[in-house]
Amino acid sequence: MESYQIPKIPVSNFSLKHTFESAQPLTFYADYNEISNTITYPYDSMVINMMHSGNQEKGELHVVSRHGNVAVDEVKRRFRLHDNMERIYKRIGTDEHVKNAINSYRGMRLTVNDPWETTLVFIISQFNNVKRIRLITRNIVKRYGTEITDSAGREVAKSFPQSRDLLKGTEKDFRELGAGFRAKYIKEAAEYCTYNINLTKLPGNKYNKLKESLMTIRGVGEKVADCIALMGYGNLEAFPIDVHIKRSMEKLYFKGKKKPIKQIQKLAEEKWGDYRGYAQQYLFHNARMTK
DNA sequence: ACCCAGGCGGGCG
DNA sequence: CGCCCGCATGGG
């Protein structure tokens, strides 16, 4: 029996529950246990197991893995622990609506996800609901992911498949995993992202350029590109406008009147500036949970 | 039965 | 350009 020291990371303003429930790519294939406040997920050829102790204001992250500092760094990066949440809350909590959302879901973090994972997940997300997005994503991971084994060689999980791993799948295959009409987008995106574009080389900090490049992928429009920019590249200037955000913001900021996407984008930029991605996630989650 | 879901591409005016 | 339509599938 090997024994490991379990690294602990002190954290403030952190909620695994709110983060996990906020429909980000990681949360579509990770396993979360609300009782033990633990999350388990594949990362490359590793399985990361992380527990949050303490409360939303102050606590610790316990990183249980065979991979020591590599896993610790992954957790820090993944949950954006470098973000100064007090400063961000101050910057975006400039009106009652965002302030209320922060009070309700304090500690919810944006996550940083692999760009290809994010692309695939949000192609699946279009005209779909969270439950089915999770189902389809997990089906694809199960079918096309690579085995991750423990020190005894037993399979403990499947890694998230890269675009190359999906090349052997046909449109029909993806359809059978539940993807519906998105199956052809998945097939095309897998080919395009393997042969025609290198997602790891895109300029993550140049919002307009990044979005323009992402939208050359078929099945990726404005909204999905913003989701990839925000959760795949950590670009907080991205402000994805989906049905929930649109309805909610029309109600809260435009007296219930229908407004074009452009106008909502403009308001977001004016109100929350370079941190608008965080405002979006809080408004989105609040809208979804209170509907 | 009907409506909706983290939208998109294509066709039309 | 903007508008409008169809689209797979499963849950409420």
Ranges A147-156, A164-173, A231-240: which has the least confidence? A147-156
pTM of the model: 0.97
Asked whether residue A222 falls in the same domain as residue A258, the answer is no
Question: Which nucleotides along chain C are within 7 A of a protein C-beta?
Answer: 2-3, 7-11
Specify if A33 maps to a domain: yes
Query: What would the mean pLDDT of A198-226 be, rounded to a whole number?
Result: 98
Specify if A100 maps to a domain: no
Specify if A74 maps to a domain: yes
Estimate in Å the CA A61 to C1' B9 gap, whole number.
44
Asked whether residue A140 falls in the same domain as residue A47, the answer is no
Specify if A93 maps to a domain: no
For A70-85, how does the pLDDT look when each residue is reduced to its tens digit (9 = 90+)?
Answer: 999 999 999 999 999 9
Estimate in Å the CA A259 to C1' C5 gap, whole number.
20
Asked whether residue A66 falls in the same domain as residue A39, the answer is yes
| pLDDT at position A4 | 63
Asked whether residue A226 falls in the same domain as residue A253, the answer is no
Residue A224 maps to which CATH number?
1.10.340.30
Residue A253 maps to which CATH number?
1.10.1670
Specify if A178 maps to a domain: yes
Q: Is the CB of A242 under 7 A from strand B?
A: yes
Estimate in Å the CA A260 to C1' B12 gap, whole number.
20
Specify if A97 maps to a domain: no
Report whether A111 contacts A24 (CB < 8 A): yes
| pLDDT at position A291 | 86
Asked whether residue A224 falls in the same domain as residue A253, the answer is no
Distances (CA, A) of A24 to A44, A105, A186: 18, 15, 18
Residue A214: phi, psi to the nearest 5?
-60, -35
| pLDDT at position A3 | 56
Asked whether residue A119 falls in the same domain as residue A225, the answer is yes
| pLDDT at position A2 | 55
Estimate in Å the CA A127 to C1' C8 gap, whole number.
10
Query: What would the mean pLDDT of A157-182 be, rounded to a whole number?
Result: 98
% of chain A at pLDDT higher than 70: 99
Distances (CA, A) of A247 to A96, A99, A231, A241: 17, 18, 22, 9
Asked whether residue A143 falls in the same domain as residue A36, the answer is no
Roughly what angle, to the nearest 10 degrees, separates helices A243-253 and A276-289? 100
Q: Which residue segment(s) compose the domain that A54 sits in?
A: 8-82
Q: Is the CB of A134 under 7 A from strand B?
A: no
DSSP state of A160: P
R_g of chain A computed on alpha carbons: 19
Instruction: Please give residues of chain A from 51 to 80 whose alpha-adjacent beta carbon (CB) lies under 7 Å from any atom of strand B.
Output: none
For A87-136, how does the pLDDT look when each residue is reduced to its tens digit (9 = 90+)?
Answer: 999 999 999 999 999 999 999 999 999 999 999 999 999 999 999 999 99
Report whether A246 contacts A256 (CB < 8 A): no
Last residue of a domain, one of A211, A232, A253: A232
d(CA A142, CA A160): 8
Last residue of a domain, one of A66, A82, A98: A82
Q: Is the CB of A184 under 7 A from strand B?
A: no
Q: Which helix (H) or strand (E) holds A156?
A: strand A155-158
Nucleotide with smallest C1' distance to residue A135 CA: C10
For A256-281, how does the pLDDT look when each residue is reduced to its tens digit (9 = 90+)?
Answer: 999 999 999 999 999 999 999 999 99
For chain A, what is the domain count? 3
Cβ within 7 A of any strand C atom: A 127-129, 131-132, 175, 178, 180-181, 260, 262
With 70 as the cut, is the pLDDT of residue A200 above it?
yes
Nucleotide with smallest C1' distance to residue A125 CA: B6
Calculate ∠ Cα A110-A146-A139, nearest 5°. Answer: 65
Specify if A227 maps to a domain: yes
